[in-house]
A and B are shown apart, each in its own frame.
Chain A
């Protein structure tokens, strides 16, 4: 080694050392904060290990699995009609929507199609459970940001939607109403008019939230420009539903997927927002509730008469084969991959639930934000714990 090279090397080492000294002098001691598993913000048992520098997040890591209930395994020992009882507990706020993709996948394997009236009833309940789910988000997001009042309005008005679901299915939270080849019962008498009244209430609730939350300046300063997810990053992490639509991706399976439900016969609009921040996610969901109300209103007006069950055998044996069906659920895309060997029970069921992917972006999106924004971003991503862990 010649002298010049070694002198260069020495000066390089010296520079490095002085940089390191400065870094050590300016370094503050980090702190690891466990948000969860028991924490008021996560309304369930999600644990997020946050490494903090002061109030700034250096790294965040979600730890899932505290609520794993083993539904994929349990479905292997249940007959097909019994599975709906299990899976509507995955996203417990919009539970009817969980049954639909499973039933659609099973119907595809059996090559039966539900009659028109059953499909319309299915779609109506699908959208009602979306309303029941997202209305609660609209209040909950505000309560995570410290405003206590909107969540009570949300609970108050969600109750009417749940009443309507109950009067059709008999269950407020776990309807277990969808059947292979149709639905269990027909609509009760007077239900259509009652539901129309409820839709008016939900619309006025949306107006209220527009005033109370969206129009609030503090809410806007807390959410605008916070937790921005660009469209390509969101797609790379597998976000779906309102989370990806609020990043400007015009993608809704109700319009684009088109299996089994009758959304293509209705007049509605897919809302997107170019910003991709927390505010956009709230705003898009607010518009989606309104669109759902519009859809349910059209269904109530145009529901055809006819049978509600197709001809299916009393003991359901699904022919061998594989099927994957996904639908646009309240939280995002939910899909069931069913493998059948021709038995009474599925051979294997893989559940693709939306929240698992929606939460997996947290290490990326939480990097560098402040602790208060951790909560607002998590709230705006909107996950249900059962939907993460299954």
Chain B
């Protein structure tokens, strides 16, 4: 299989190079887009200000300025820090992001890996970031970081479960763990015999979609679930001691993961790269599929960032209660209902 269904045959190393570059693009592009579009601009407009306006037209080059600023900063270590752990932590977090993007299909043939356990892989690698955050919290040798790191670990472990269980409904309905086939199942599906827009699982799995959104909000440690980085009490939690390049890596990791989780939500619930009215096997989708996916991703991440800028944060015990007492039972009910209906119809 080639990356695109082109006439030319590529050697394995050529494919690998192309895939690596595209993977880098797939991580950095959503991160940059989300930061500029939502963090800089949408947030500012919500808060009756303009946001960055000076660097480039409408502040569009502000990202470059920020990255340049971070790159110039000195690479500082706290004196008591565990240097190896402290240094490695941002890369562990970023590694989880890069592994996560691999399962996303962007067209019938445009994918990085196409395996039958794609959903399983995605949910498994997304929890690697917990280790990185714990490393950062412990390695910084700061009380604020330690509290933040432990809070993050508890929170991420708690919300991993609703995240997985919310996707289970989709998996049951599609009958496969293969992400590509989940997209095709939605594209070829029918709503009571009407196949005009396929059958995006948003309609049948609406509860799952809501739970998935809440869970990824918590996984990203964004408000209202930002207790691990609560800047008004524990400074910025596990990020407190990081500056410069390493802080930038955490930052990219956070926003790239936000983009990729949104894209996953779009793939599971909104039909992924498929656009209604076209033949899902057509070669056209290898070109417009990525654009469609990005469009749907922006739609989902708009919701995420909208919540982020509006709500105050939960307390640690309150958000654990929300996970275990509300989201997990609800998603179990969702799975049972989906299973029964799947067998019945």
Binding site for B on A (CB under 8 A): 31, 33, 35, 39-41, 55, 142-149, 152-153, 156, 212-213, 216, 218-219, 221-222, 370-375
Contact = CB atoms under 8 A, between A and B. Distances in A.
* A-B CB proximity, top 5 nearest: A146-B313, A145-B312, A152-B47, A147-B312, A375-B233
Nearest to A38: B235
A145 B231 CA distance: 10
Main secondary structure of the interface of B (DSSP, over half): loop
Contacts of A153: 47-48
Given A152-B49, A370-B315, 17 more contacts: A33-B143, A146-B232, A148-B223, A149-B46, A149-B47, A212-B310, A216-B312, A221-B314, A221-B318, A222-B315, A370-B316, A372-B230, A372-B316, A373-B315, A374-B233, A375-B230, A375-B232
Contacts of B226: 146
Given A221-B318, A375-B232, A142 B49 contact: no
Interface string B217-261: 000000110110011111100000000000000000000000000
B70 interface: no
10 contacts: A31-B143, A33-B143, A146-B312, A147-B312, A149-B309, A152-B49, A156-B48, A222-B314, A375-B232, A375-B233
B48 A152 contact: yes
Nearest to A370: B315
A152 B230 CA distance: 19
Given A41-B232, A147-B223, A148-B47, A372 B309 contact: no
A153 B108 CA distance: 47
Contacts of B224: 146, 218
A145 B313 contact: yes
Nearest to B225: A146
A69 B316 CA distance: 39
Contact of B310 (A149, A152, A222): A149
Nearest to B315: A372
Contacts of A40: 231-232, 235
Contacts of A222: 312-315, 318
A42 to B, nearest CB: 9
B317 interface: yes
Contacts of A372: 227, 230, 233, 313, 315-316
A144 B312 CA distance: 8
Given A41-B232, A41-B233, A142 B312 contact: yes
Contacts, number: 80
A373 to B, nearest CB: 7
Contacts of A219: 312
B311 A218 contact: yes
Contacts of A375: 230, 232-233
A33 B309 CA distance: 29
Given A41-B232, A372-B233, A218 B316 contact: no
B147 interface: yes
A212 B318 CA distance: 20
Nearest to A221: B318
B46 A55 contact: no
Interface string B41-62: 0010011110000000000000
A314 B46 CA distance: 53
A267 B232 CA distance: 39
Given A39-B235, A221-B318, A371-B147, A146 B230 contact: yes
A218 B314 contact: yes
Contact of A371 (B43, B47, B223, B233): B233
A213 B312 CA distance: 8
Contact of A143 (B49, B232, B310, B316): B232
A216 B311 contact: yes
Contacts of B313: 145-147, 218, 222, 372
A142 B226 CA distance: 14
Contacts of B316: 55, 370, 372
A372 B225 CA distance: 13
Most chain B CB neighbours (cut-off 10 Å) among A33, A144, A218: A218
Nearest to A371: B233
Contacts of A143: 232
Interface string B190-234: 000000000000000000000000000000000110110011111
Interface in B12-35: none
Contacts of B231: 40
B147 A55 contact: yes
A171 B43 CA distance: 32
Contact of B317 (A145, A156, A212, A370): A370
Given A55-B147, A55-B316, A370-B317, A147 B310 contact: yes
Nearest to A42: B232
Contacts of B227: 372
Contacts of B232: 40-41, 143-146, 375
A219 B224 CA distance: 10
Most chain A CB neighbours (cut-off 10 Å) among B144, B230, B311, B316: B311
Nearest to B311: A218
Contacts of B309: 148-149
A212 B46 CA distance: 13
Contacts of A142: 312
